[in-house]
Structure 1
Amino acid sequence: MIKESKEGVILQIYVQPKAKRTEIDGVDEWRKRLKVKVKAPPVEGKANKEIVKFFSKLLGAEISLIKGETSREKDLLIRGVSIEEVKKKLEIYR
């Protein structure tokens, strides 16, 4: 779910588009990913942009989508914060 890499911290998420609002919805134990509901539809990258914006604001860091552009399972690269900081900020959702 959260891994360290040479470039930064990798956060693995599972996305549910077209939700009432954008929010973290716990952990998908089967997939071992953080569940994220996204208000935007999965059209023309709108949901991906909203995810990047949401996590940038939440974590106060530079976020980029590195895997899963057209999939519900996505990997985000977080730069500028340590793995401990990411875990601490996401702890309430576990």
Structure 2
Amino acid sequence: MKETARALEEVVLEVRVQPRASRNEILGYQDGVLRLRVTAPPVEGEANRAVKRLIAEAMGVASSRVEIVGGERGRRKRVRVSEVPPGSLERLKAAGGKAA
């Protein structure tokens, strides 16, 4: 996906999450799916909140712009990011393999 110099209204990411990991990190893309690890357990939405924070931090957007729109109770999720500033997707891709 090529990003233009202007902001995008929204993007939807396919995400695979490993909860209860030793650290929060973005592993990168595999087969078009963004792989993440979060330390939070999958209890009462803790892991989902950690996913939102991790993606928001990597993309440089407020966590209020990140919403889980599918898979709230599973490891595979669809995450929508609204009002995406220029360069955010590149920052997310570059974050692969780095702990947060």
Scaled by the length of structure 2, the TM-score of the pair is 0.75
Note the residue ranges of structure 2 that are not aligned, 5 or more in a row.
2-7
Q: How far apart, CA to CA, are the structure 1 residues paired with 2:70 and 2:51?
A: 13
Q: How far apart, CA to CA, are the structure 1 residues paired with 2:28 and 2:39?
A: 16
Task: Report % sequence identity.
Answer: 32
Query: Relative contact order, CA 8 A, sep 6+: which one is greater?
Result: 2
Scaled by the length of structure 1, the TM-score of the pair is 0.79
Aligned pair count reads: 87
Moved over 4 A (4+): none
Name the residue aligned to 2:36: 36
Q: What pairs with 1:1-94 in structure 2 (closer than 5 Å)? A: 8-29=10-31, 32-61=32-61, 62-81=65-84, 85-92=87-94, 93=96
Backbone CA RMSD of aligned residues: 2.1
Amino acid at match of 2:59: L
